[in-house]
Amino acid sequence: VVSGRRRNWDQIVMKLEEHADRVTCVAFDKEGKQLFSGSLDKKVCVWDAETGDLVGDPMIHTDEVLSLAVSGDGKRVATGCRDGTLRIWDVETSRCVIGPINAHRFKLTSLVFLSQTRLVSGSCDGTINIWEISQTTAKSCFGPLAKHTAAVYSVTASPDGLRIVSSSLDKS
C-alpha cells in the first residue's frame, strides 16, 4: 500500500504479507479504512489500511480467488473464483452468507456492486450477469448477457449504477 501526495511524493509503503501465492485482486471499502486482497491461495484477507494489520480471519475458498468487490456500506464482499463460483461474505464475521453459486461456466474475472442489492459479474465464458442480492440469496435478474465473443476481463458501473461497461479479449 502506498499513500502520499502528488506534489512532494511523501509516502508510506506497507508490504502486506499474509498470502501464500500471487495476489490477483484488491479493493478498498468506500471510506478507505479497509483493504481487501484476494489470492491464488484461495483466501481473501481484510487489512486495516492505516496500520497494515490483518483484520479478522481470512475468508477461505475452495478455488483460486480472481475477483472481488466491496459493497457500498462495507459490510459485504463478493468474490469470484477460477471455477466460476460466486460467494458473498459478511466482512465482520468472515463467514460466507451466500453461495457458492455456479455463476459462470468459466473463471469469474470481475465483479462490481451497482447498489447494496445488485451485483454485476463478468467471466472468461464471455458473459455478464446481473445479480439481485438479498440477505441469504443471490439470483440472476438479468443475463447472462452474451455480447462478447471472448473472455470478459473487467466490468465497472457508473456512479449512479445505471450503466455497465465491460472489456473483453475480443477487443471491445
Cβ atoms of 147 and 156 closer than 8 Å: no
**Predicted structure pTM score:** 0.89
Task: Tell whether omega for the bond before 159 is within 30 degrees of 0, i.e. cis.
Answer: no
CB neighbourhood size of 115 (10 A): 12
Pick from 112, 122, 119: nearest CA to 152: 122
The three grid cell numbers given for residue 102, joined into one nine-digit string: 455456479
Q: What is the pLDDT along the chain (172 residues), one digit of tens a residue?
A: 545 555 554 556 667 888 999 999 999 999 999 999 999 999 999 999 988 999 999 999 999 999 999 999 999 999 999 999 999 999 999 999 999 999 999 999 999 999 999 999 999 999 999 999 999 999 988 878 888 889 999 999 998 889 999 999 999 8
